Amino acid sequence: MPIHNKQVAEQFNRLADLLEIQGANTFRVRAYRNAAQTVESLPRDAQEMLEDGEDLSELPGIGDDLAGKIKEIVNNGELTLLKETEEETTAELGEMMKLPGVGPKRVKAIHDALGVESMDQLRAAAENHEIRELEGFGKKTEDMILREIDRRKDHTERTKLSAVDPIARSLENHLSGIDGVKKVVVAGSYRRRKETVGDLDILITCRNDSPVMDRFVGYDEVEEVVEHGKTRSMVILQSGLQVDLRVVPEVCYGAALYYFTGSKAHNIAVRRIAQGKKLKINEYGVFRGDDRIAGATEEEVFEEVGLPFIPPELRENRGEVEAAKADKLPKLVRLEDLRGNLHAHTKDSDGKYTLREMAEAAKKSGLEYLAITDHSKAVAAVKGLDEKRLRQQMERIDALNDELGGIRILKGIEVDILEDGSLDLDDDVLGELDLVVGSIHSKFDLSKKKQTERVIRAMDHPSFHILGHPTGRLINEREAYEIDMERIMDAALERGCYMELNAQPDRLDLNDAHCKLAREKGLKVAISVDAHATTDLEFLRFGIDQARRGWLEADDVLNTRKWGDLKRLLKRD
């Protein structure tokens, strides 16, 4: 049975949650969290690496013990230690800990005082106003718990794109290798590269005698077969993801691909154009009366209604049809347009690799420059840099730049924006850097007005360049903090600052709508991966997906430029 990195990481994170509730050693808890992050950021599944004879203990922060536990999960599907810990501590307590503002100490306090062991019991305790009576809680915390329980329930049906990606690729590989199969494409919101995916729609063409449907329902990861037919089958995978497989005749493959890619709103808008031309579009083709006049390719479908090809990422009915009519579709940014990454961490704060290792990985990936932006001192939990340590790092960067060829390492920092809008390091040292990324890591609960003013005050600093992960959201885990994004963007334009599109798959912050707004305002965006490991640099592709959904062209992106041109843009008047 295939075991994906997401499943390994989930077990380590769940174990860390439960151990933290039990009051286990902080370093032990952190080791499991770091291992989860390391595994999830691997470019290949750990199962595949083990099958190839690779030594997982050589991965950063893993070692023999954790490597053995990864092997146990891959071989057995579960971790014995996790099972034992779940028997000692109710597993749902770990889910409660993920609610913002709760944490292990509060979960333990609620559990010990009220006997709460599930989300349903937690909701009941909050609705009965029992939580506000506990020491250290109050009405505000109780209301927040209810609000977050509702929000998490709303998100349970959609899975992050990064988690679906390896599943979809495995299925594509599996189906492509079956005798008689010709084309395999995953359609739907996955093809449009939405940040979350509800289910997978896969379209194939194949010979009539292909055993593809039998092989599909017999796939190792299938938990339940909902439907098994000759031209359509539906299964539920062990991950909970629903997958529909359709066999489509080649004569209408393009029309079916267009139809099942969506979005529904986009398809309706194009069908209206077709109706005006006395045409009908459906999953079987483009028809004039009873005659099919197109449908083998998507390009044919668009051509018959008088439109140029619209990239899947744009198909959301947010102006793309009108732009296509006017021949004003954007020439979307591509991964190969990026010349550098402007947000990366090393072992000097919470990264997993050394300065040299990060630089060499960036060079190997083809980047021309890499900004090292470790955390500043306010983030004490990850050994954030003070002025002295930052200057020492700057000296090492200078030395490395003298030694390495083919890449330039930029001296930077991810400086904390404090509650009053001041920055977490002295003006002098900030002024010596190539790049300053300012980010919020605390006080997420400020009012919209205060949060907005906090960021604008930070951008007033003459050394401020880029606002990092601008809304602070974590997809399916933490809502964005309240902030007036339009006002922030206007302020950035006035001051010569820029916005980050943080390409970490859990963030993808800016969202697509904000990327489009930035483009409309003429505000440039940095697509940066916020790398904490060398393998994280591969996540730039998710940033590109988001940027394309936000209509960004290469010129709209800060780090598509050579270092000399970028340096001029970073120079504030």
Buried b (16+ CB within 10 A) or exposed e, 458-491: bbebebbbbbbbbbbbbbbbbebbebbbeebbeb
Q: Which CATH number fits domain 159-247: 3.40.50.10800, 3.30.460.10, 3.30.460.80, 3.40.640.10?
A: 3.30.460.10
Give the DSSP H/E element, type plus range, for residue 259: helix 253-261
- Round to whole Å and give the CA distance between 259 and 281: 9
Residue 91 is predicted with a pLDDT of 62
For residue 150, give both structure tokens.
Answer: 């509702």
User: Nearest-5° angle of CA 260, CA 261, CA 266?
Assistant: 105
- Round to whole Å and give the CA distance between 545 and 192: 9
Residue 1 is predicted with a pLDDT of 63
- Round to whole Å and give the CA distance between 379 and 529: 19
Closest to 410 in 3D by CA, of 197, 281, 567: 567
CATH architecture of 5-155: Orthogonal Bundle (1.10)
Residue 163: phi and psi, rounded to 5, are -80, -30
CATH no. for 335-570: 3.20.20.140
In angstroms, how far is the first alpha carbon of the chain from the final one? Answer: 59
pLDDT tens for the chain, 573 residues: list them.
678 888 898 899 889 888 888 878 888 888 898 888 888 878 788 888 898 888 998 888 898 999 999 999 988 888 999 988 887 776 677 777 777 667 777 888 888 888 887 788 888 888 899 888 888 788 888 888 888 777 766 555 688 999 899 999 999 999 999 999 999 999 999 999 999 999 999 999 999 999 999 999 999 889 999 999 999 999 999 888 999 999 999 999 999 999 999 999 999 999 999 999 999 999 999 999 999 999 999 999 999 999 999 999 999 999 999 999 999 999 999 999 999 999 999 999 999 899 999 999 999 999 999 999 999 999 877 789 999 999 999 999 999 999 998 999 999 999 999 999 999 999 999 999 999 999 999 999 899 999 999 999 999 999 999 999 999 999 988 889 999 999 999 999 999 999 999 999 999 999 999 999 999 999 999 999 999 999 899 999 999 999 999 999 999 999 999 999 999 999 986
Residue 156 is predicted with a pLDDT of 53
Closest to 249 in 3D by CA, of 206, 214, 292: 206
**SS3 assignment, position 203:** strand
Quick count: other Cβ atoms within 10 Å of Cβ 380?
8
Question: 252-325: CATH homologous superfamily?
Answer: DNA polymerase, thumb domain (3.30.210.10)
- Round to whole Å and give the CA distance between 467 and 480: 14
Residue 157 is predicted with a pLDDT of 66
Domain boundaries, the chain: 5-155, 159-247, 252-325, 335-570
**SS3 assignment, position 207:** coil
State the burial class of residue 186 (Cβ atoms within 10 Å of its Cβ: 0-12, 13-18, 19+).
Answer: buried
Closest to 523 in 3D by CA, of 493, 560, 559: 493
